């Protein structure tokens, strides 16, 4: 029984520690991949905002210098800008003059 408990405790400890070191890297990698996909979609609309790619570049630089929180913040800003630019493209797709009724 003691051997079973010890083995179970070690397995639980090993599984808890297994993904911890790379977890921020995986999350950052997934986020940047999502940002890149959103940027590509936004480029097709012609509404890509000026700072979106710069923010992604700065996020990667911050990540390489060890500033994970700052990198995630910048990547999230780039993602939000890309999404807003797509919304802007949708909103302006059928835009036209609006004349008041008299």
What pLDDT score does 27 carry?
Answer: 95
Model pLDDT, residue 1: 45
| pTM for the full predicted model | 0.71
Residue 18 confidence (pLDDT): 46
pLDDT at 32: 97
Predicted local confidence at residue 21, as pLDDT: 55
Helix axes 52-64, 68-91, angle to 10 degrees: 170
48 sits in the region (left: phi over 0; alpha: psi -120 to 50; else beta) called: beta
Question: Where do the domains of the chain lie?
Answer: 26-91
Q: What is the pLDDT of residue 17?
A: 47
Per-residue pLDDT of the chain (102 residues; tens, 9 = 90+): 445 444 444 444 444 444 455 677 899 999 999 999 999 999 999 999 999 999 999 999 999 999 999 999 999 999 999 999 999 999 998 888 888 887
How many other CB atoms sit within 10 Å of the CB of residue 60?
Answer: 15
């Amino acid at each position: 029984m003691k051997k079973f408990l010890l083995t179970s405790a070690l397995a639980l400890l090993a599984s808890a520690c297994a993904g911890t070191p790379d977890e921020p890297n995986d999350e950052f990698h997934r986020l940047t991949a999502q940002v890149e996909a959103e940027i590509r979609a936004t480029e097709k609309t012609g509404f890509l905002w000026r700072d979106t790619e710069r923010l992604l570049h700065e996020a990667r630089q911050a990540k390489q210098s060890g500033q994970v929180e700052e990198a995630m913040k910048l990547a999230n800003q780039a993602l939000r800008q890309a999404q807003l630019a797509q919304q802007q493209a949708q909103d302006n797709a059928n835009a036209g003059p609006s004349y008041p009724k008299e």
